[in-house]
Amino acid sequence: MTKREFRENIYIMLFQVPFYPAEAAQEQADLFLEDLEDVPEKDKGRLRENFFQILPHLSELDEKISGKAKGWKLERMGKADLAILRLAVFEILYDEKVPNAVAINEAVELAKKYGGDKSGKFINGVLGAIERETQEEEKSEE
């Protein structure tokens, strides 16, 4: 599985989150992973692990997104855009293996595929603001 395919599957798993109660996350993840054909069990395990690393941070990710999505409440955002943003913000804040520019670029690509006409620009703007804030925080800690 390529990194892009991996990220896209995590996006799909995150997209499903708002549609089910929190206690159903494990069951929904299992159902999704069972339906993935031709995906080795090792990759399914990595998908499950990554998904469950993101879930505990949703409130924090949403707070970051809300702070930078000027004039947009999370409830008004497209579910696709929100799932893409959650994934990218998680990568920016917590995944040191993913450079920020890659997280942003991949999020924009997902937005072009799954979002609306203006999703790419919207996501790029929100993530750019979050990245700048993160860089400023890192500089002030030095």
Summarize pLDDT for 62-101 with one digit per residue, the tens: 999 999 998 899 999 999 999 999 999 999 999 999 999 9
CATH of the domain at 121: 1.10.940.10
Long-range CB contact pairs, 75-83, < 8 A, 24+: 78/115, 78/116, 78/119, 79/15, 79/18, 80/15, 80/111, 80/114, 80/115, 80/116, 80/119, 81/111, 81/115, 81/116, 81/119, 81/122, 81/123, 82/18, 83/11, 83/14, 83/15, 83/17
- Whether the CB-CB separation of 27 and 17 falls below 8 Å is answered with no
What's this model's pTM, rounded to 2 decimal places? 0.94
Mean of the per-residue pLDDT values for the chain? 95
* The pLDDT of residue 138: 81
- Whether the CB-CB separation of 69 and 126 falls below 8 Å is answered with yes
Structural domain harbouring 121: 3-141
Q: Reply yes or no on whether the pLDDT at 137 is more than 90.
A: no
Q: Which residue did the predictor score with more confidence, 134 or 10?
A: 10
User: How many structural domains compose the chain?
Assistant: 1
